[in-house]
Chain A
Amino acid sequence: MAKLTINKELCKGCGLCTTACPKQILAVSKTVSNSKGYFVVEELDPSKCIACAFCATMCPDCVIKVEK
């Protein structure tokens, strides 16, 4: 069981995590934005996460915490 915690307030929606994810379960939202106006990244299917932390490795803003 893997768990991602995304600090959406710090996310800038760059999408580097979405291309790094081998399971393709991350996407930049088209509707949800934070107080700075950035559309933030969302986890589409948490059950598919394998806790590889590739998303967190590529995140420039350290917004993703990965637990397993």
Chain B
Amino acid sequence: MAVVFEKPSFLTDTPLHYCPGCTHGIAHRLVAEALDEIGAKGHCVGVAPVGCAVFAYNYFNCDMQEASHGRAPAVATGIKLTNEDNIVFAYQGDGDLASIGMAEIVHAATRGVNITVIFINNAIYGMTGGQMAPTTLIGQKATTCPSGRDAKVNGNPIRMCELLATLDGPSYIARCSLADVKNVKEAKKCILKAFQNQKEGKGFSFVELLSSCPTNWHMNPQQALEYVKNEMTAKYPLGVFKEV
């Protein structure tokens, strides 16, 4: 029998610690498949964030470095500069990248460093228990905005892809969703493109993945994906924002 689908070799056998139905697992797998396909085995270094994906260094079959909160693009820049033959990626959540790490991501992007950044946008701080994130939607409830985010009190959500696309440095910026099979397959293509860009030396590549957090959204996994499909995609339109 021919194998149609199996776990990519770039993922270790360590069981994922994520909550049931969390799309971090899908994102990990897509990154691993892309790294397998571009042949990065043996010369790949990943940078793990602070947040739910903090244990990413246990899951990828490559060298990994844990960065301080939000500093993954800066650490990845350093790793890339020491050996430009390495495929270097940063894997970050929205609280990490769009809040405390805003300076690092913007400057890594504008320098056009030849790295790949995978940005998981689930509109909430997951690990710390569901506080409002920079990407939390207007009206969405979190522990720090219990009656729903109000633009007058809490400000407006940040669209990272649109923001970074205004810069001259990045070579590829795309937003995808992990809400269903079709979108996951599309996300796979974008992640592969982002890594191929790096391999070809084109420069900074950034892929945002709209993800779910069933636990902190207080939904079941299916409802959470429906929320991504209906509510998040309306605020965060999918597509390629920059391709050079």
Contacts and interface: CB of A to CB of B under 8 A. Distances in A.
Interface of A: 1-3, 10, 12-16, 19-20, 38, 51, 53-54, 56-62, 64-68
Contact of B2 (A10, A15, A38, A67): A67
A15 B221 contact: yes
Interface residues of B, number: 29
A15 B21 CA distance: 7
Contacts, number: 73
Nearest to B7: A62
Contacts of B29: 60, 62
Contacts of A51: 4
B15 A60 contact: no
Contacts of B26: 57-60
Given A57-B181, A57-B184, A57-B185, A12 B20 contact: yes
B123 to A, nearest CB: 18
Interface in B4-56: 4-7, 11, 15-16, 18-26, 29
A64 B1 CA distance: 15
Contacts of B1: 1, 3, 67-68
Given A61-B25, A62-B7, A62-B29, A16 B2 contact: no
24 contacts: A1-B1, A2-B4, A12-B20, A13-B20, A15-B21, A15-B221, A16-B222, A16-B225, A19-B222, A20-B181, A38-B20, A51-B4, A53-B4, A57-B5, A57-B181, A57-B184, A58-B180, A58-B184, A59-B26, A60-B16, A61-B15, A61-B16, A66-B4, A66-B6
